[in-house]
Homo-oligomer: A and B are copies of this chain.
Amino acid sequence: MNMIEFGRDILNRQSFSRLLGAELLAFEPGRAELRLPLRDDLKQQHGFAHGGLIAYLADNALTFAGGSALGGEAVVSQEMKINYIRPGIGAALIARAETLSTGTSQAVVRCDVFALADDGSEKLCAAAQGTIVRLAKG
């Protein structure tokens, strides 16, 4: 199983990601890209993508990027921060995360979330930063 298949297998075992319809577009050491088509049942009262949906996508992209750098799936997000920049409107959201630093047990990662219009253009929708840590062994 190559790396992108490994990542898609993890994503597929996240029932929440299946419910929302997230897709893993890229997965390399220290880097991950997720795509989420914007369905009608993912919105808030103004018709935009719910902020919590954008936070989910950022959190997951941060975790995939950090996990790929730390090596393995036994990782979780320890903390993250997100600035919402533009309403999430369009065909899909794209989250691109990249690791800034990787230690033995944690990675610091940044993520940009873009709103993808029907014509294929992208606009920055949110910017996130967080810490991904290896799960302590039980």
- Mask of A77-113 contacts with B, CB within 8 angstroms, 1/0: 1111111111000000000000011000000101000
Chain B residues contacting A135 (CB-CB under 8 Å) are: 46
Among B14, B55, B86, B110, the residue within 8 A (CB) of A45 is: B14
Interface residues in chain A, defined as those with a beta carbon under 8 Å from any beta carbon in chain B: 10, 13-19, 40-46, 50-53, 55-57, 59-60, 63, 73-74, 76-86, 100-101, 108, 110, 124, 127, 129, 131, 135
Summarize A's interface: helix, strand, loop or mixed: mixed
Contacts of A81 in B (CB 8 A): 79-82, 129
> Which of A15, A44, A57, A60: most chain B CB closer than 10 A?
A44
Q: A14-B44, A16-B52, A78-B83 are in contact. List 4 more A-B contacts (CB 8 A).
A: A16-B53, A55-B56, A56-B56, A83-B100
